[in-house]
Structure 1
Amino acid sequence: MSQLLINDIKQTIDVSEKEIEHIMTFFVSDTFKKKDFIIRESDKVEHMYFILSGLVKLSVMDNQANEHIISFAMDAWWETDYHAFYTQTRASQSLRCIENTRVLKLSYGGYHRLLQEVPKMTHFFLNKAVRGHTSSQRRILSLMTLSAQGKYEHFLKYYPLLLQRIPKTTLALYLGVSRETLSRFFRSPSYCD
């Protein structure tokens, strides 16, 4: 069993050890190497992923083949193309590993059985959805209202642990600034690509 996922669940809902044992039977572990795709655009999205270790990015390509990064997920975070997962349609986004990554995956069918068999998990996933939605709104507002420096400071405030793990070029794409502009903001000589 993964203590990281157990801790994540117990921080949100009150569950017994017997319930935890049952909940964990719905998850399957998987590993991916750096640069592997967990989901490619147009794939059918069968799973949501709990990141045990590693770092991934959720992104989309536009018609000119420019990548737009929507989000990152690291240890103890959840990620997938949620629209495609919940509607069981093809992915409009890709999920790709920035680092070697270990996950626990929960299938679409398993998700629904889990909610039926352990109803309090509905509250758990609702809590995760609300937190994700709030984070997305905060990001959209920062992109719409902040200067390049402000976007960087916003990212630093909310995601300081990611700063040392994300290559500068990737972070610049996420913030919508040039790599040169981003380089001016770094104060720490310890940052490395």
Structure 2
Amino acid sequence: MDRLRQHIEATSPLTDDEFEYVKGYFTLKKVRKNQFLIHEGDDAKYEYLVLSGIYKVFFVDNAGKEYIMQFAQRNWWMSDYYAFFKQKDASMFIECMEGGEVLYSTLASREKLSADLHKMEHFFRAKLTNGYVALQQRIKLLLSSTPQQRYEEFSRLYPELIERIPKKFIAEYLGVSRETLSRLYGKG
């Protein structure tokens, strides 16, 4: 739970009593490689904070093609957020690509923490805002840049992931073929 405290306190410092209260709303889970945290159609009742490992958040279209929305790593939050906030069935999957640990909590827990502690409301709002900004930047990049620019930006933002994630998944995330990624990777 020390990692949870460090993560929260990077945004909102807590007293020892406040942290004791907060940590009661989170549960630790060990996750194996290739294990799913969410399947399409599941009740997406949890939001996850990555402590270790790498996770792939994706959906599959009607033709069976996979689209990766996010790679989540240490200190990243993940869920099928539409399903989580609207309390609907999931339309996404979350798969563990590299075994690790997560902390998870429910929407009701998030709401209770936010109502009881202004510091936690501030923390969750800051995380949600940062996630929204990152998502807008990702969409902008996908819509208005070349494959080379997308690869360079991914390499700049996530240099550690280049070596840890199979190239076919990086290609999928960037919206390029595996062959195109191989050419781009050779230029880097």
Question: Could you tell me the TM-score, scaled by structure 2's length?
Answer: 0.95
Deviation >3 Å, runs of 4+:
none
Structure 2 CA distance, aligned partners of 1:141 and 1:188? 23
Query: By how many angstroms is 1:140 displaced?
Result: 0.4
Query: By how many angstroms is 1:135 displaced?
Result: 0.5
Paired position in structure 2 for 1:103: 102
Paired position in structure 1 for 2:20: 21
Structure 1 CA distance, aligned partners of 2:23 and 2:187? 41
The percent of aligned pairs where both chains have the same amino acid is 37
The one-letter code sitting in structure 1 at the alignment partner of 2:12 is: I
Structure 2 CA distance, aligned partners of 1:8 and 1:188? 36
Paired position in structure 2 for 1:31: 30
1:166-177 alignment to 2 at 5 Å?
Answer: 166-177=165-176
Query: By how many angstroms is 1:71 displaced?
Result: 0.5
Structure 2 CA distance, aligned partners of 1:93 and 1:34? 18
Deviates more, 1:177-186 or 1:70-79: 177-186
Paired position in structure 2 for 1:134: 133
Query: By how many angstroms is 1:186 displaced?
Result: 2.1
Residues paired across the two proteins, number:
188
Query: By how many angstroms is 1:133 displaced?
Result: 0.5
Structure 2 CA distance, aligned partners of 1:187 and 1:19? 50
Where structure 1 has 5 or more consecutive residues not aligned to the other structure, the ranges are none
Query: By how many angstroms is 1:187 displaced?
Result: 4.7
Q: RMSD of the TM alignment (CA)?
A: 1.4
The one-letter code sitting in structure 2 at the alignment partner of 1:118 is: L
Structure 1 CA distance, aligned partners of 2:181 and 2:120? 40
SS of 2:89 mapped into structure 1: coil
Structure 2 CA distance, aligned partners of 1:115 and 1:150? 39
Where structure 2 has 5 or more consecutive residues not aligned to the other structure, the ranges are none
The one-letter code sitting in structure 1 at the alignment partner of 2:67 is: H
Return the structure number with greater helix share: 2
Question: Could you tell me the TM-score, scaled by structure 1's length?
Answer: 0.93
Structure 1 CA distance, aligned partners of 2:126 and 2:110? 15
The one-letter code sitting in structure 1 at the alignment partner of 2:132 is: H
1:140-179 alignment to 2 at 5 Å?
Answer: 140-179=139-178
Structure 2 CA distance, aligned partners of 1:169 and 1:16? 45
SS of 2:164 mapped into structure 1: coil
The one-letter code sitting in structure 2 at the alignment partner of 1:36 is: Q
For 1:123-179, what per-residue CA distance to the aligned partner results, in whole angstroms no more than 9, with x for missing partners?
101000110001001100110111111110011111112211111001000001111
